[in-house]
Structure 1
Amino acid sequence: MSAHILVAEDDERQAQVLRMYLRSEGYEATVVHDGRAAIDAARRLRPDLLVLDVMMPKADGLDVCRILRRESDLPVLMLTARSGEDDLLLGLDLGADDYMTKPYSPRELMARIRTLLRRAKGSTRQPEGGVLRVGPISVDPLHHEVVGPSGRQVTCTPGELTVLTTLAAEPGRVFTRRQLLDRTGGWDSSASERTIDMYMMHLRRKLEPDPRRPEYLITVYGVGYKLTPGRGTGEGGIEAR
């Protein structure tokens, strides 16, 4: 069954070009032209991925992302004509899984979509039959559940869950940003490595007692990131249900 892509783009000509490319790739495509319609369509149709323009009438893409992220883990790829880094990072901070700046290559956009779909699919498949435990943190990729040191379940986006699962599968191993992108179905774009930093920032906010002094999600300067069991705990592993 082909994936269903929802496109929210107020430029009707550009939206039709996107629809054409998506259908040529074998995807089912639905197009809307304002933010309110995007929210309604996402709730009603439950697409596999949302391609979301930032500048739209009725509700802009940032508001749409903020609202939908509270309700679901729908993968979101944002399109923006804004080139400022603060604007791009704001979109990621609200829960978008990736972004592209306009003008963009439709072929690269299709590659990004394939990556996000693989990532979302993979985040619920590994490891089957077990929960990853690293110290007080548990990760259940099959059921998309994460429990932090406080004992409370936290909500993660598909990208955050995939990164956390990769780290939890090999506690103590240091992964570079590029390796994490590759493990999550990464793409060849130097800017995209910043998304790993954003995922780590979000995960620390959700899991660390003090995100400014992380005990579990550790930065190895000049190399990358690793997940450790924290002070005075075991090494963790996979626990069968």
Structure 2
Amino acid sequence: MTITNAHILIVDDAREIREPLSQYLRKQGFRTEMAADAAQAREALGNGKFDLVVLDIMMPGEDGLSLCRWINSENGPPIILLTAMADETDRIVGLELGADDYLVKPFNPRELLARIRAVLRRVPSAPATVVLSARRFGDWVHDASQSAISHHDGTRHELTTAENRLLTVFLDRPNTVLSRDQLLDLTAGREAKAYDRAIDNQISRLRRKIETDPKKPTYILTEWGGGYRFAADVQEALA
């Protein structure tokens, strides 16, 4: 995929928005497909490969936030949310659910185009290298080859591809402060942007799986002004 021929799914119940937007993006060299609701979007995503989704939050039936959660759980493409809400709550929730960016309606198509290009530039050109070995930290064992972590009490969590890569990076560099830019480069091989929230979202989800209290983490610590540090000793797990 190149940025200029990326395949974009536009999900918006307002025809007067999705159709002109589709035409505009096509003129910019993109391939586009449209969906009027979440059901059509799910069908399109199941039948085709998309590089990015432009998703309206306020839709009848299943709303955009619910669809955003599902797309992220399926390791789907990056998402830019469209919202007419003046309140910030939906935008914050959307970012926490895994959206890569958002734009408030009414918007200038040129601004959306710039945001689309910025998100697509951050998409990895090649998968990050994952060490296929099991390693122990605290009461957990991380099996990178299985994209899973197991607790000594028998608890097991499956990891998304992004979570697996992020945890691998931390285990490779325990007790080292890593900035957001470094984590973006190490996990996705992409040029980091100053205000990118992708790493924060991934860390929040990973904390919910490995921390006893995600609000008071003991493994993934926030270094204010510096980034994040994985505060645990790491050892190879015996077979």
- Residue 38 of structure 1: SS of its match in structure 2? helix
Q: 1: distance between equivalents of 2:131 and 2:215?
A: 34
Matched, 1:108 2:111: no
- Residue 69 of structure 2: SS of its match in structure 1? helix
User: Is the 8 Å Cα contact of residues 18 and 106 (structure 1) preserved in structure 2?
Assistant: no
- Residue 59 of structure 1: SS of its match in structure 2? coil
Following superposition, the deviation at residue 28 of structure 1 comes to 3.3
Q: TM-score, normalised by structure 1?
A: 0.73
Alignment of 1:92-241 (within 5 A): 92-94=95-97, 96-102=98-104, 103=107, 105-118=111-124, 122=126, 125-127=127-129, 130-131=132-133, 133=135, 135=137, 136-138=140-142, 140=144, 145-149=147-151, 152-156=156-160, 158=162, 160-183=163-186, 184=188, 185=190, 188=193, 190=195, 192-193=196-197, 195-228=198-231, 230=232, 233-235=233-235
- Pick from 77, 82, 104 the counterpart of residue 79 of structure 1: 82
Provide structure 2 residue ranges, at least 5 long, that are not aligned to the other structure: none
Compared CA separation, residues 6 and 216, structure 1 to 2 (3 A): same
Following superposition, the deviation at residue 133 of structure 1 comes to 3.5
- Residue 171 of structure 2: SS of its match in structure 1? helix
User: Is the 8 Å Cα contact of residues 7 and 15 (structure 1) preserved in structure 2?
Assistant: yes
Following superposition, the deviation at residue 208 of structure 1 comes to 1.5
Name the counterpart of 1:33: 36
- Residue 130 of structure 1: SS of its match in structure 2? coil
Matched, 1:5 2:11: no
The structure number with the bigger radius of gyration is 2
Q: TM-score, normalised by structure 2?
A: 0.73
Following superposition, the deviation at residue 22 of structure 1 comes to 4.6
RMSD: 3.4
Provide structure 1 residue ranges, at least 5 long, that are not aligned to the other structure: none
Name the counterpart of 2:91: 88
Compared CA separation, residues 60 and 186, structure 1 to 2 (3 A): farther
